[in-house]
Amino acid sequence: MDSQTTPNTPRRSRRSKIVGTVIALAVMAALGGGAWYLTHTGVSAQPGAGGPGGPGGPGGRRGGPSTTVGVATAVKSDLPVVLDALGTVTAASTVTVRPQVSGILKELKFKEGGMVKAGQVVAQIDPAQFEMALMQATGQRQRDEAQLENARLTLKRYQTLLGQDSIARQDVDTQAALVKQLEGTVMTDRAAEGTARLNLGYTKVVSPISGRAGLKVVDIGNLVSTGDTGGVVVVTQLSPIDVEFSVPQDKVQTIQERLNGGTALAALALDRTRTHTLDKGSLTALDNQVDVQTGTVRAKARYTNDKMALFPSQFVNVRLELGNITGAVLVPVTALRHSNNGDFVYVLKADKTVTVRMVTRGQATTDMVEIRAGLEAGEQVITEGADRLKEGAKVTLAGDKPAMGGAGAAGANGERRHRRQHPDGSGGAASASASASAPASAPATAPAKGAAQ
């Protein structure tokens, strides 16, 4: 019996291998076919598979669902040419008031943060020692003047005696030299007296400019001197006041021509939000070189600052008015599109389709742009949703009522048709249930999802 079973064993092994190989190939073929079906049917069922403006995207093919867009009408109006920049408020003059003589600080005559005028006394140094020095210099001058007067009288007598030949000429010459020497001494005494009087006046520390006083630097009773770097107080001129900002080097020539022609360029100082005007001034100067790192030139505008709305070192937005364009065709900046061929806009036609229009742009503000060629006033352009459009695409305006989708309409028509065939309504329900479960209904729902997106 063993001899009979032994020859059949290799046959069964070969048969098992062949069957296993066939089964494995069948499984692999089934998996590959399933993957092919899922990838191909899944991609085709995705809404907008072609991307915005493509064959599968919304509005990408005629007869497809329309795209909801926003529109604006091109208007003809005057466009002010302005230049916006970030500026820093700088004081027209800042002075650190320092004492010019050394002494004990006796009194402060200003209010911290208050306004002071030019020539106003802001501090008083003890004047006692300077009064004594002035008295000493005055006494020395008076003594030397008396000696000079006596020497002049003696010289006059000597000259009279010389005319009578009663005195030697050498004595007369010696007396004349003494008079000149005393005259020099008196002149020196007068200078010393003036210096003493000047130092006495310096004990009253005055502000050289009008402006706002800062916080006090030194307290009463301290010894102050001319070497104190902090001084007594810092006074900042607030009216007028300057704002420094940068302008692009491409605009320098235009600005320079206006300044050389005597045209005053208005400059508005705006707050951080650009909604409130702090003050109105004019451009006064441009720097003499371009900053190579930023490609800009420093500029300065001056403001009267009557309302004290500008404060030193404050950051403000500067709006420099370079001119005005009359009768410009304006559209919102969101309507202007860019491509490799240049700038263009989507123009809305009467049949609710759009067409691409190449245009030439001009000056622009933060919200409007000038169209110099390619568009007329009164035409409507697309401002929102233009990234999903192409030539001839059907659009729906934001205010229009949405239309029922193709799949929904087909389902509703089919349900009414079935209800007409089955007055009792049972057949219609059965048909609707069958349609919901049938695989063929999946492609019909794809356009509705694409329109929603």
250 and 139 in a common domain? no
Higher-confidence residue: 61 or 253?
A: 253
pLDDT for residue 39:
60
Residue 56 in any domain: the answer is no
379 and 364 in a common domain? yes
Provide the CA 428 distance to its chain's centre, in angstroms: 67
Residue 420 in any domain: the answer is no
CATH of the domain at 221: 2.40.50.100
pLDDT tens-place string over residues 72-94: 898 888 888 888 899 999 999 99
Q: What is the mean pLDDT of residues 95-122?
A: 94
Name beta bridge partners: 298. 246
pLDDT for residue 17:
74
Residue 441 in any domain: the answer is no
Q: What is the mean pLDDT of residues 243-264?
A: 88
332 and 299 in a common domain? no
Name beta bridge partners: 302. 242, 282
The separation between the first and the last C-alpha atoms of the chain, rounded to the nearest angstrom, is 77
Range of the domain at 269: 236-324
Alpha carbons 231 and 221: distance in angstroms, whole number:
15
Residue 57 in any domain: the answer is no
Domain stop point among 267, 294, 324: 324
- DSSP class of residue 236 equals E
pLDDT for residue 394:
87
Higher-confidence residue: 327 or 207?
A: 207
pLDDT for residue 278:
94
pLDDT for residue 314:
93
Residue 247 in any domain: the answer is yes
Residue 21 in any domain: the answer is yes
pLDDT tens-place string over residues 300-323: 999 999 999 999 999 999 999 887
User: For 255, left (φ over 0), alpha (ψ -120 to 50), or beta?
Assistant: alpha
- DSSP class of residue 404 equals P
Whether the model pTM is above 0.75 = no
**Which candidate, 410, 451, 444, places its Cα nearest to that of 45?**
444
pLDDT for residue 402:
55
361 and 244 in a common domain? no
* Model confidence at 164: pLDDT above 50: yes
Alpha carbons 319 and 209: distance in angstroms, whole number:
30
Q: Which amino acid is at 257?
A: E
Q: List b or e across 434-452, with b for residues whose CB sees 16 or more CB atoms inside 10 angstroms.
A: ebeeeeeeeeebbbbebbe
375 and 311 in a common domain? no
State the pLDDT confidence band at 50, using cuts at 50, 70 and 90. very low
- C-alpha pair distances (Å), 404 with each of 54, 59, 169, 395, 432: 23, 16, 136, 15, 19
* Model confidence at 285: pLDDT above 60: yes
Residue 431 in any domain: the answer is no
Residue 432 in any domain: the answer is no
Alpha carbons 404 and 131: distance in angstroms, whole number:
103
Q: At what angle do helices 128-163 and 169-202 cross, to 10 degrees?
A: 160
159 and 246 in a common domain? no
Alpha carbons 67 and 104: distance in angstroms, whole number:
84
261 and 352 in a common domain? no
Q: Count other Cβ atoms within 10 Å, centred on residue 413.
A: 10
Overall number of domains in the chain = 4
Domain stop point among 228, 258, 277: 228
219 and 182 in a common domain? yes
223 and 148 in a common domain? yes
State the pLDDT confidence band at 396, using cuts at 50, 70 and 90. confident
Domain stop point among 397, 415, 436: 397
219 and 254 in a common domain? no
Q: What is the mean pLDDT of residues 263-278?
A: 90
Please count the residues of the chain.
453
CATH of the domain at 391: 2.40.420.20
215 and 144 in a common domain? yes
Name beta bridge partners: 371. 361
pLDDT tens-place string over residues 167-221: 899 999 999 999 999 999 999 999 999 999 999 999 999 999 999 999 999 999 9
State the pLDDT confidence band at 9, using cuts at 50, 70 and 90. low
pLDDT for residue 102:
94
pLDDT for residue 152:
94
* Model confidence at 13: pLDDT above 80: no
CATH of the domain at 275: 2.40.30.170
State the pLDDT confidence band at 440, using cuts at 50, 70 and 90. very low
284 and 271 in a common domain? yes
